Amino acid sequence: MVKMDFEKATGIMKKLHKNGVRIIVFEGGEPLLWKDRKEQKGIGDLIEEAKKSFFFVCITTNGTLPYDNIEPDIFFVSLDGLKLTHDHIRGESFEKIISNID
């Protein structure tokens, strides 16, 4: 797994913006777990930086972690079906995800 620090991530966002990109999607693994421990920054800080540059920000999450204080424009939450199907595939996580969405 390749780790990207905050400085590199924001540098890439600046290059993307300069080249006309206006939508950014944080996904892969579980983006809510991303942290730059050296800089004491998390995914919320990256989202905040992206929005300062007027990116439209999306994040894809499995929904099992709370996402208070994280404000993308769109959250994509992975559900594999209704409760019975989802819990069969992913374990007993359906209710936790629904609770986090509320």
Instruction: Give CA separation, 26 vs 9, 55, 81, in Å.
Output: 11, 12, 23
- 87 within domain boundaries: yes
- 37 within domain boundaries: yes
- 75 within domain boundaries: yes
One pLDDT digit (tens) per residue for the chain, 102 residues = 467 899 999 999 999 999 999 999 999 889 999 999 888 999 999 999 999 999 999 999 999 998 888 999 999 999 999 999 999 999 999 999 999 988
Report DSSP state, residue 65.
S
pLDDT reported for residue 102 = 81
Q: Helix (H, G, I), strand (E, B), or coil: what is residue 33? A: helix
Give residue 47's domain range: 6-101
- pTM attached to this predicted model: 0.84
Number of domain units in the chain: 1
